Every structure is written in C-alpha cells, then in structure tokens.
Chains A and B, each alone.
Chain A
C-alpha cells in the first residue's frame, strides 16, 4: 500500500470498487466515452430490499492497494470490466486471452468480471455469454447501462453471500486471521489457540463483516459489528485493526449523518499517478449535490423509513463530535505503524472533509497539519506535487485560503524542481496563477490605483517574480513582459534601489525581443491579463492645458459674441443655465486652441527611479478632434523632483478636444495612461475648444529690441519690445514690418495704441500713423510682408523739475512757474501748485539722469481665413519704450511790451541740457547757438494772440463740467497755438538731430495774459465781449494799490467787460481824434459776462496830459470841460446783460489828452475785485478847428 488516494472520503467505505480497463488498443476517447456511461451507473437499489448499493469505478488501480482489501473492503477490487476493440473473429481468441490475463491481476478479490467487445460482429457475437457483451460500435451500445446493472446485481449476490457467510460462521469454526500484507510475517509461529489470538481473529472478522455490511447497504448492522469489533480489538491491543474498526464506525456514522456526502465538488479532480490533473468528473457519488445539512438536524430524523431500527441507531451511531474524536483515535493508532502511512493519510483527508462540512476549520487544520507530517516512503516528484496540490485544495475547503495558496505555490515549485528532468513550467505557471487570490493579488493594475498599496508586498513580489520566470521558461515572452511590467508598476514602492535596477534591466532584455503592448493577453484557460500602463514611470502629478501665447490667442469679436449668446437664450444672463451645465463647464477650460497651430499641454512629472529614466514616444491621447500628436522623448534624472514636460500637438480639425491621457514607451513597454485612472493627479480640466485656423502675424521693426519688457497692468502680453532714445521734441519714424507667417491670408488689421499711465504731461500726439497705406497691401498672403509706419513725437515738460526759475523781479513783468510767496498766489495755476518741488533734483542742470521714459503699446488686431469667418481675431502687441532726454528747455519765460500794444516780446531763457552744442531757431529767422549746459535768453517778438477765436461749443462746456479741466483744456489749446506760432526748433549739428522746443508747459496764466490781446478792446465793434482774467495787472496802473488790497483771495473768473466808445467809435491804441470846441461823445458800455449782477456803478472821468517824461498834468480845468456831468452812471447789469452810459467832453485847446476812467468807490463795488474795474486810458487828440 503505497499510493494514497487523496480523493478518498468517508462514503467510499460503502462502495464496491470496480475497475474498468481497456484491453488491447482502445483509443482514449472511445474508452472514456464508455467509461462515462459505465460510471453513470453508480447507485443501484437492489430489488426487493431497501438497500442501496454504491459503486466506485476506477480505470486505474494499483494491484498492491488491492492487497489491503481485507483490511478495508472498499479497497478491494470486486469487479472488473474490460473494454476492447475487436474487428475480426480471427482476433477474438487473442482478445479473450487478454481479458483473462487482466482478470488475473485482481483475480484473488474479484467477485465477477465483464468484457465489452466493440466492433465484432458475426457468429461469435451471436453466442450468448454472461461475461462478454458484444457491441457493433461505440455509438451503438444502448444496453451498456443495463448490462452494468446486471453486473452489479451479480456483484451484490456475491457480496451478500459473503456477508452472510462471514456473519454466521462465527459459531464455532475456527475464524481465519485476516491481516494486512506487512503483518503476514509477524504472525508466523504464533500460538493460534490462545485466547488472545482468537479474540484478535474475532475482532478482525467482526470488523470485516462490518465493512461488508456497510457495502451491502446495511448501515445499522455495520455499526453494531464495528462496535463489537472495537471492543474486541481494544482488549487485545490490536491497534492497526482497532483503528480500522474505529474508522469504519466513523464512516458509517458520517454516511448516516451526512447523506449529502463529504467529498463535495472538490472531489471532482483527481491525480491518479499522472502529473497532469487527470480526467475530471470521472467520479460520481451518490447525491453529489452540495447539500450541507446541519449535523445535529439528522440525528433523530433519519432517512431510513424503517423506524424499528431507530432506537438501535441512536445508540450505535456516533454523534458528530464523537466522529472526530474517533477519527483522532484511529489516526493515532495508525500512526503507530509506519507501513500504514497511506491509511493514516487517507483517514486524515477523510476527517478533514467531515470537519469541513461541520465547519470546524480549526480542528480540520490540525488534521491537515498532521497529514503534512506523515512521512510516506520516498515520494516521486509527481506524487509530491499531487500531495501539495491536494493539501492546498483541502485548505481551500476549510477556508484557509492563504495556507492553500502557500501549498499550491509549493506544488508549483515542485513542478520545476531541479531534480525533474523535464520541468513542467506550464503546470507551474498554472498553479502559480491559482495562488493569486490567496495572496490577494489581482493582475489588474486598476486595483492598485486606489491609494497606496497595502498588502504583503514581500510575498506578492516573490510570487510575481516567479510568474515572470515561469512564463519566460514557458517560452511566452509577452506574458513575462506583462508580469514584469505589473511588478514594476504595482510594487514600485516596495522595491529596493537595487531591485528596481534589476527589474528594469530584465524588463529591457525581454522587451528587446517582445515589446510590451497595451493589448489584453488571454491565457488558454480563459484568464485575461489586462494591460499595464506605466503610470508611475514617470509619475505625473499635474496636467495643465496651456493657452496659446498671448500673441496667438484667438479672441472673439464682441459683436459676434453677443450674437452667439443671443441665439442660445433670450436672456443676457441666467443662473439656471450656468448651473445646469455645471459639471461640464468645470472641466472645460475657457480658452481656445486654434486649428493648425501647435498646442501645448504641460505635465509635471517626476522620476521615482534611482537612475535616469528614458521616456520615449511620449505623446497625448486625445479625442473629439483629429489631433496630430508630436511625441517627445525625455530623459529624467534620477529621483528628479517635479519636472515640467510639455507635450505638443496640432489639432487638424475644429471642435471640442478632450485630452484623455498620454502614451509613453518606457523600457520598451508601450503604455496608454488615462488621466481618469491616475491617482492624485491635479488637472484643471482637460477639454478645450478648437477654433478654425487663423493667420499668424510676425512683426519686426526698424528699432532695436528692448531688453526691458513692459508690464502693462491690463494683463496683455507683449510679444515684442522695442526701445528708442529721443531728445525732447524730436520726431522719429518707426517702420513696422508685418509678415504673415501663418497658412491663412491676413485679411483684416486694426491698430490701436495705448500709452501706459505716466505722470508726465505729454504735449501733442505721441504716436501717429496712417493705416490706409498698409491696408492697401491687404489681404496679405502667407509669407508676404507689409510695412507700416508710425511716427513718434515726444514733447515733454522738463522745465518744472529745474530749480532755475528764480525771482525775476529785476526785469519787468516776470512770471515763474515756481510758487513764490507772492500776493498773487491765488492766481497761480493749480497744477503747478500741486507739483512737489524737489530742490535736489534741479540742482544739477544737464544731468542725464533726468531722462524720462515713455511707454506705449501698439496693438495689432488681425484676422483672416476661416477663423475670421467665425469671428475670431488675434491680437499682437508691440511694446514701445521711448527714453526722452531733455534737449532744450526754457527756464524762464517773461514778456516785455513791445512798441505796439498788439505785439509783445517774449523773453525765453533757453537752457541747453544736452552735452552737445545746439542751435535754436524760432521761425527760422533767428539762430542761437548754445553750448552744452549753457543758458541764454532769446527774445521773440510775437503778435498778441486772440484766444477768443477758438471755438467753444456749448456741448464741450457741458462735457467738462469740472471747470478746472475745462480750464486746462483751454490752456492747452492756447499753448498749442502759441507754440505753432513761435515754432522754435533746435538742432544738434553734431548728431544731426533736430526737434521742436515747446513752450507749452511753461506758459502760465500771467504770461498768457500778457500774450493775449488786452482784455478791453477799444473797438467794441470788433468784439462784443472780451474776457477779463483775474489777476492780470500792469505795473503803473493806478489801481494796483487797490488790487493789492484784495490779495489773498481767489476769485472766480468773471467776465465783466466795459467798453469805452468815443464818438461812437471804439477807442483803440490809436488816439481818437476830435476837434477843439466840438463836444466829444463818450460812451462806456458794460457787458456783464459774470454770473451775477453787478452795479450800479459810478464812473468818473479824469482827463490828464502825459508829458512823456513821467510827468502827468491833471489840472486841465482850462483845457477840458465836461458837457454835462463828469460822472457817469451805470445801472445794475444783469448777467450777460449790457449797459451803457453816455457823456460828453469838450476840448478847449489842441493837444494830446488822456482820459482815465475810474470807478467811484462805493458800496456796490466793494464786493467785487478791483481788477474788474480797470478801464484803459483813452487817448484823445484834440485837433485844431478846421479852418
């Protein structure tokens, strides 16, 4: 007895063993076809009795096991069925002979035998024989089952007779001693007459009868016999047989308790001395369906309808707990005999099966533990594999999955043990795969995506290594690549640096022969291995779709945007719409890509490996739009930190593109990594819209590029920066070359400019251009160039920073921008006043540090091609930086009255702040040469200006509600005019640069006042009104004293304009001529432009004579006489009203007379500033009477 049958279970004790074997040459297919039919007859109800006979079929049974048939009768081969092919009668005797030979093998134990002959027809087949059946073919054998039933019945008759024979011959005859093969020699020479011996014989026979009863379906009898046998054998210490009797008792009880059987489904597989799992489903067990019945439930409710035996049964049958105890006892007895190892092992297996049904895993594991240690003779490798496999199955049966996996793995290793000449790598691989669930390892990398891997990494890694090795030895490199990839991907955190190196090295070796793919690998047994994308090589932390560079960003035209929105919904804004699309919107990024333009996606990656990682063929996986991915190859340094990688591609069509992931080739393994599967990835959306193609514009300019880039606050990005250095007042042309470098024609161009906020006051147009010339070259085909010219003109006020404006009281009427502490402070322009004065700044005239910077942005909006049709345009910005250096400026401006009252001299102190000699010319009639840092005064005779000629639309007035703004506006306009009149130019001959010198910034109120035609024009006909500016005052004016008294009050600008008319003629600078003796009519007309009513006033007229030497004669009583009152009265004048008073004078002698009109001071004029009441002297020349 050397070959254990691991499939044994307790029920097998009640079966009759029938061996079915082929004789001669029978194809395996045919044999098993018949075998199957035969074995379907496994349970026979014997006629006219309640008993059921169970048959166990075997197609292979070692004869040495048969020798233990007396020990346990179910081990005895009682029936033999041989199957043979025989096609001609000639072969028949030979075939029959073979049958007999076969019969001899099991001859001693056989009750009966049958021969099934297939193929033979004719007279031999006609002969009726009981032990031979003839069938024409394997298909045509309908009576096989019937034959088998007959055969079994014949077996039953023999069995029954034997049972009866044995059961009754105890009465006095000498009972033969039954013994197992290894005992035979022990009993030689033993006293056969001793009580002890007799008892032994009896006990053993009882046990044997019990076995037979069990087989014959008499469960109750067998229990009785077993009990008796146990008592007998116990008394003689016949341990081996005692064990057998106990086991028989257990088996009978198990059969009684668990009619469903204990073998279960796991019994379906068996290893019958072959390394491959042998023919499945060859065994049929009565009621093999898995009905697990609670052990307690059946103890009082048997299946046998014979209730008379009920009491005895309850007494004899073991309780489920006792069964285990008895099994334990039996096994302990078996273990005393080394030769009974197989019996012990099988008993263990049987007990485990019973315990599995009882769900007593702990005890079952103890039995199994014991089974592990049972040392059989030197096992062959195949037997070892079989043994480990069965242990694994049994552990699985009792729910010990890990233990099961452990043994399965041992079995797998055994398949390829070095001592085996032909290692079964396939079997090994298959077994290893079966261990995966036990190590809670699935081969789907998806299962490892959830957070950090938690498991028995060391054990799992070992298993994966073994899988890799086994698959490689199997000659399936694709499989080993897949497993190795899986190992690398999932166990990366647990691999040591050296292991990482080794694994990747071997992976590279494998992939050099068979590159890793993204395809599903299906194993022959149906298991599929999902692809393993290397999401950790490198690890991607963040995916960000990048917007196009600012200059290439498409922008939607506003009007079209409005239209498209209005088509979607009648509402301008509705929160409901926004919410309903919340999810979709959150993933969609609010910028666009352009068809045909290179688009970028930035990945933040890092390399977890301790060596340089080469990632090849890294590209994007997209959907929605045809996308030409341009793969990149990168090499990441060892243990790199986050490393930005930009993947690029070109969308070929328009629509919505979704970036789903990326693909890589690492160590020769292709991976498609989907973002959805990446753990811990940050992404700001992966869907973006692709708009139709647009042209691309490239600009280049005549100016050098600037290192300094502008940072405009509005967030525009500037593609090109140019800079230029100019002297103040200089004009330069900037030539911009526009080149269409895209694939679409450029159809539309708009240019706008924006001057960045600067504190500097800028005069005139800084940038000006004419777009028409450029547009004439449009549409600009790809590759073509157009030019565009912009003129840059800088006019800045440099004067205020100079502290050179000193008090100029020595030379007449002087004005300075410097806020002197003068009584006229109230009339100083507020802008000047607000400017902080930094004395240190002005202390070094000519310092180049005074250069000022002007920055502006030129925006080119362009569009064309299909994108233009869709309403998109692009914006290209050109940053312009102009460094303005002071050229000449006027440190002081003052006026001197010229000979004519309509003209005056403008005195300008010109300062050359450059380092070059320059010439200054005004209206090209004067040229002044100034050396560097030199200051000279130049006088220009100018006509006084009449600012009133500027149109002043009422709309404009309303627009500038702020009077200060309005004032400045006017001031500027005036400055411009003065400037254009003056037309002062400077030239630096050495640099050949010229420019304008502007006085605009300098012209303060006072200077303007002086440059203005006198506010009171004695030609009332010319101008109906003129403005009086507060604060204007002339030296020598007698009202000066009065004006000074009113100092310190800032008065609103008023417009009270009295006109004086002599003889109905307005008095001008020209003397009015009159005749001596004729009365001269004098009319003073007052136009009130102020917002309040003025008057009434009293005006006094004082005539005097100017001797031109500073002496004025006022006593002219004899020369001039008033006709009527010498005092004029003006009524109250309403705002914008007019009033006039008339008087007359009579000149008595010839001469030049002056009339000074002065206001009488009274209460009505007190509240008004004295400057309002300033009337010019009227010059009257009295001529002699006409002869």
Chain B
C-alpha cells in the first residue's frame, strides 16, 4: 500500500483568495493542507505582484514551486483572470518534474474553464461539478 502515503492536494482559489475547491488525499488531515495552501498564498501574491511588471501577453501562468516544506512541495499557477491554482505534492514523489506539474495545471485550467462555461454556475461559488471532481480524482490517482 505504498501509494497511500503519497499525497497531493489540488486547490483552486478565486480572486479574493478564498477556496473554490479543495481536494486532498488523504482526507484525514485536511486542515494541514488548508494551512499549507493558505500560507502559500503569500508567495503567490508576491509572485503575481512581481509579474505585474511584465507584459501581459508574455506572462507565464505557471508560477513554479512556491515553497518546499519538509514533506511537500507546493506549486502554483495563476490564470490571467487571477484565479489561482495551488497544488501540493509529496516531496518524495520524484517522478513529478516541473513539466508534469505544468501539464497538470494546464489540465486543471481547462477543466476549470469548462466549469465556468456552465451557465448555471455562479462565479465565486464553490465548485461542485462532477466532471471537475472526476478530473481531479483522475489526476490525483495519476500523481499517486
């Protein structure tokens, strides 16, 4: 049962920096991830404000590693509309390179775009889309 130890949490944040969607595996210590992601927002904010100086069209959405902790690595991604995606992956998972993380974020972004296209979704509400859920789940399993 190796892969149970391997954890990752995908979090999506909306403009005002509150979570639209949080998923974590394992679920028992979710609060830890909340803290982790919450504090990582400082870095995200900092990176965004630094990016603000760059030209808009040249902006890289992927923020890279936000900060490493002892057990996890926190990656960030921000859309042009300042929706933030934060992903926490287990540090021991060396298979995940920057490129993989980047493509995962892109997938997440596409899925998120689909959610926003739903006319019944109120921007700013918690995401409860099943399709999105499924996508995240598949991504998490893949990570594991």
Indicate whether A369 reaches chain B with its CB closer than 8 angstroms: yes
Indicate whether A379 reaches chain B with its CB closer than 8 angstroms: no
From A439, A458, A462, residue with most partner B Cβ within 10 Å = A458
Cα distance, A403 to B42, chains bound together (Å): 7
B38 touching A365, Cβ below 8 Å:
no
B38 touching A402, Cβ below 8 Å:
yes
B46 touching A361, Cβ below 8 Å:
yes
B38 touching A400, Cβ below 8 Å:
no
Extra 10 A-B pairs, beta carbons < 8 Å, given A365-B46, A395-B42: A362-B46, A400-B46, A401-B42, A402-B38, A402-B41, A406-B35, A406-B39, A440-B17, A454-B14, A459-B31
* A361 to chain B: closest residue by CB: B46
A402 touching B42, Cβ below 8 Å:
yes
Write out, one digit per residue, whether chain A residues 358-369 have a CB within 8 A of any chain B CB (1) or not (0): 000110010001
Indicate whether A1100 reaches chain B with its CB closer than 8 angstroms: no
Indicate whether B73 reaches chain A with its CB closer than 8 angstroms: no
* A456 to chain B: closest residue by CB: B38
Indicate whether B117 reaches chain A with its CB closer than 8 angstroms: no
Indicate whether B16 reaches chain A with its CB closer than 8 angstroms: yes
Write out, one digit per residue, whether chain B residues 15-57 have a CB within 8 A of any chain A CB (1) or not (0): 0111100000000001100110011011101110010000000
Q: Do A454 and B35 contact each other (CB < 8 Å), given the known contacts A361-B46, A362-B46, A401-B42? A: no
Indicate whether B132 reaches chain A with its CB closer than 8 angstroms: no
B39 touching A362, Cβ below 8 Å:
no
B43 touching A454, Cβ below 8 Å:
no
Closest 6 CB pairs of A and B: A400-B42, A454-B18, A403-B39, A458-B34, A455-B18, A406-B39
Can you name 24 A-B pairs with beta carbons within 8 Å?
A362-B47, A362-B50, A365-B42, A365-B46, A365-B67, A369-B67, A395-B42, A399-B42, A399-B46, A400-B43, A400-B46, A402-B38, A402-B41, A402-B42, A403-B39, A406-B35, A406-B38, A439-B38, A454-B18, A456-B19, A456-B34, A459-B31, A459-B35, A462-B31
- Chain B contact residues, CB within 8 Å of chain A: 14, 16-19, 30-31, 34-35, 38-39, 41-43, 45-47, 50, 67, 124
In the assembled complex, how far is the CB of residue B53 from the closest CB belonging to chain A, in whole angstroms? 12
* A373 to chain B: closest residue by CB: B70
From B30, B35, B42, B67, residue with most partner A Cβ within 10 Å = B42
List the A side residues contacting B43 at CB < 8 Å.
362, 365, 400
Cα distance, A395 to B43, chains bound together (Å): 11
List the B side residues contacting A456 at CB < 8 Å.
18-19, 34, 38
List the B side residues contacting A395 at CB < 8 Å.
42
In the assembled complex, how far is the CB of residue B82 from the closest CB belonging to chain A, in whole angstroms? 15
List the A side residues contacting B14 at CB < 8 Å.
454
Cα distance, A333 to B144, chains bound together (Å): 38
List the B side residues contacting A462 at CB < 8 Å.
31
* A369 to chain B: closest residue by CB: B67
From B19, B34, B35, B124, residue with most partner A Cβ within 10 Å = B35
* B14 to chain A: closest residue by CB: A454
B50 touching A459, Cβ below 8 Å:
no
The number of chain A residues touching the other chain, given as a range, is 10 to 19
Cα distance, A448 to B17, chains bound together (Å): 16
Interface residues of A in 459-473 (CB under 8 A from B): 459, 462
* A440 to chain B: closest residue by CB: B17
List the B side residues contacting A399 at CB < 8 Å.
42, 45-46
List the B side residues contacting A459 at CB < 8 Å.
31, 34-35, 38
In the assembled complex, how far is the CB of residue A455 from the closest CB belonging to chain B, in whole angstroms? 5
In the assembled complex, how far is the CB of residue A1043 from the closest CB belonging to chain B, in whole angstroms? 85
List the B side residues contacting A402 at CB < 8 Å.
38-39, 41-42
From B39, B41, B46, residue with most partner A Cβ within 10 Å = B39
Cα distance, A456 to B19, chains bound together (Å): 7
List the A side residues contacting B67 at CB < 8 Å.
365, 369
Write out, one digit per residue, whether chain A residues 385-424 have a CB within 8 A of any chain B CB (1) or not (0): 0000000000100011111001000000000000000000
List the B side residues contacting A362 at CB < 8 Å.
43, 46-47, 50
In the assembled complex, how far is the CB of residue A487 from the closest CB belonging to chain B, in whole angstroms? 15
In the assembled complex, how far is the CB of residue B136 from the closest CB belonging to chain A, in whole angstroms? 18
List the A side residues contacting B46 at CB < 8 Å.
361-362, 365, 399-400
Write out, one digit per residue, whether chain A residues 284-298 have a CB within 8 A of any chain B CB (1) or not (0): 000000000000000
In the assembled complex, how far is the CB of residue B60 from the closest CB belonging to chain A, in whole angstroms? 15
Cα distance, A402 to B34, chains bound together (Å): 12
List the A side residues contacting B30 at CB < 8 Å.
458
In the assembled complex, how far is the CB of residue A755 from the closest CB belonging to chain B, in whole angstroms? 57
* B43 to chain A: closest residue by CB: A365
Cα distance, A454 to B126, chains bound together (Å): 9
Cα distance, A456 to B41, chains bound together (Å): 12
Cα distance, A362 to B17, chains bound together (Å): 19
Cα distance, A406 to B37, chains bound together (Å): 11
A454 touching B38, Cβ below 8 Å:
no
List the A side residues contacting B39 at CB < 8 Å.
400, 402-403, 406
Q: Which of A369, A401, A454, A458 contacts B31 (CB 8 A)?
A: A458
Write out, one digit per residue, whether chain A residues 424-466 have a CB within 8 A of any chain B CB (1) or not (0): 0000000000000001100000000000001110110010000
In the assembled complex, how far is the CB of residue A1146 from the closest CB belonging to chain B, in whole angstroms? 115
Write out, one digit per residue, whether chain A residues 1085-1109 have a CB within 8 A of any chain B CB (1) or not (0): 0000000000000000000000000
In the assembled complex, how far is the CB of residue A105 from the closest CB belonging to chain B, in whole angstroms? 41
Cα distance, A361 to B39, chains bound together (Å): 14
* A459 to chain B: closest residue by CB: B34
Cα distance, A454 to B17, chains bound together (Å): 9
In the assembled complex, how far is the CB of residue B66 from the closest CB belonging to chain A, in whole angstroms? 10
Cα distance, A440 to B42, chains bound together (Å): 13
In the assembled complex, how far is the CB of residue A247 from the closest CB belonging to chain B, in whole angstroms? 25
Interface residues of A in 968-1014 (CB under 8 A from B): none
* B125 to chain A: closest residue by CB: A452
Q: Do A454 and B124 contact each other (CB < 8 Å), given the known contacts A369-B67, A406-B35? A: yes
In the assembled complex, how far is the CB of residue B34 from the closest CB belonging to chain A, in whole angstroms? 5
In the assembled complex, how far is the CB of residue B41 from the closest CB belonging to chain A, in whole angstroms? 6
List the A side residues contacting B17 at CB < 8 Å.
440
In the assembled complex, how far is the CB of residue A499 from the closest CB belonging to chain B, in whole angstroms? 13
